[in-house]
Amino acid sequence: MTKIIGLTGGIGSGKTTIAKYFAEKGIPVYIADDEARKITESPDILQSIRTVFGDEVFNNEKLDRVKVSQIVFNDTNKLKQLNEIIHPAVKKHFKNWVLHHSNFDFIVYETAILFESGSYKQCDAVISVIAPIETRINRVMIRDSVSREEVLNRIKNQLSDEDLIKKSDFIVENNTLEEAKRQVNKILKKITIQ
């Protein structure tokens, strides 16, 4: 039976970089954010978003993701509503994806909100990627061209590294990529043995 390895971490922790490393090693990786983005384009989902957020989050009938992000990262109730629209669809899509990869010993499910969404319950093990707060802030400011304040707003809506450490089976401290890769290789040996 295919094991599901959950991979999570706060914004700017480098979890997507670690997910890519798993993929380089031939392990199938499901990037929930990427799939959610595709799923969000479906007419049913767009209509649900319009119902909750109104027409102001659309430009020429296209969803303005920046506007939606600004709203949800400043309003936890709106974030919850958005998650209630998207997560059931992603969950269903992931279930089908796992079936298509059932010939692998294990697969990786990467998502920023593994614990918040309850998705950790379907995982056989959870790996959290953590990094120093200043490193995370700088990575996101450069990557997304956003202010320090915007990054801090996003971070405060996520679990702290301390919470992630308590809830996870394995931790990757992503200070440098080479060190993080070494930690991943050790974890892979342990997972393979189990």
CATH code: domain of residue 87: 3.40.50.300
Domain count, the chain: 1
> Binding site membership: which residues?
12-17
pLDDT of residue 117: 84
Q: Per residue in 6-54, pLDDT tens?
A: 999 999 999 999 999 999 999 999 999 899 999 999 999 999 999 999 9
Q: Rounded CA gap, 131 and 133, in Å?
A: 6
What single letter denotes the amino acid at residue 74? N
pLDDT of residue 70: 86
Residue 73 pLDDT level (bands cut at 50, 70, 90): confident
pLDDT of residue 116: 86
pLDDT of residue 193: 62
pLDDT of residue 81: 94
> Binding site membership for ATP: which residues?
12-17
Q: Which residue segment(s) compose the domain that 91 sits in?
A: 3-193
pLDDT of residue 1: 81
Q: Rounded CA gap, 158 and 154, in Å?
A: 7
Stretch 154-179: mean pLDDT:
93
pLDDT of residue 194: 60
Q: Per residue in 106-117, pLDDT tens?
A: 999 999 889 988
pTM score above 0.85: yes
Q: Per residue in 79-108, pLDDT tens?
A: 889 989 998 899 899 999 999 999 999 999
The b-or-e profile of 30-64 (16+ CB within 10 A means b, else e) is bbbeebbeebbeeeebbebbeeebeeebbeeeebe
Helix (H, G, I), strand (E, B) or coil at 109: strand
Measure the CA dihedral 7/140/94/80, to 10°.
110
Which of 163, 136, 164 has the alpha carbon at shortest distance from 150? 136
Range list of β-strands (E), the chain: 3-9, 29-31, 58-59, 62-63, 106-110, 125-130, 170-173
